[in-house]
Amino acid sequence: MRPPTKTPYTMYALEATEYAKEQGRFEAFHRLMYRAVWEHGKDIGDLDVIREAAEEAGLDWPELEGKLKSRSYEAVVMDQYRQAMDIGIEGVPGFVIGNYMFTGAQPYHVFQDVMNKVLDESLNSTQEGEG
């Protein structure tokens, strides 16, 4: 992972992600944007970077560009942001697994530990319900 040299303005990237979801291309677009920032150190707030990922993901760039410039998804993204803040997520990325919430890039073992706790709790609650 190569951290970017500056913190990108990600509003356009988040709005473009909403468009990708509507087009059924979320996974491809998300992976390309992730690689752009973390592998290549690109500024994902730059429309040229978004265009490159969008086209590679099979999205209609002229249509997406128009939606970005008209801020078609701004309200959706801001609503998601407010929802995250309401449940206590204060960083990016934010994760909620079972009843556990954490933020920031975490090593693999953190995810593994949390998943094991969630699975153990689920198993224990199932066994208690049987008894």
Spell out the domain ranges in the chain. 11-86, 94-130
Q: What is the pLDDT of residue 1?
A: 62
Q: What is the pLDDT of residue 84?
A: 85
pTM of the model: 0.72
Q: What is the pLDDT of residue 38?
A: 84
pLDDT in tens, 31-40: 999 999 888 9
Residue 22 identity? E
The residue ranges of the chain whose pLDDT is under 50 are: none
What is the rounded distance in angstroms from the CA atom of residue 73 to the CA atom of residue 56? 21
Q: What is the pLDDT of residue 3?
A: 64
And the tokens for 74? 């701004």
Residues 6+ apart with CB under 8 A from 18: 73, 76, 77
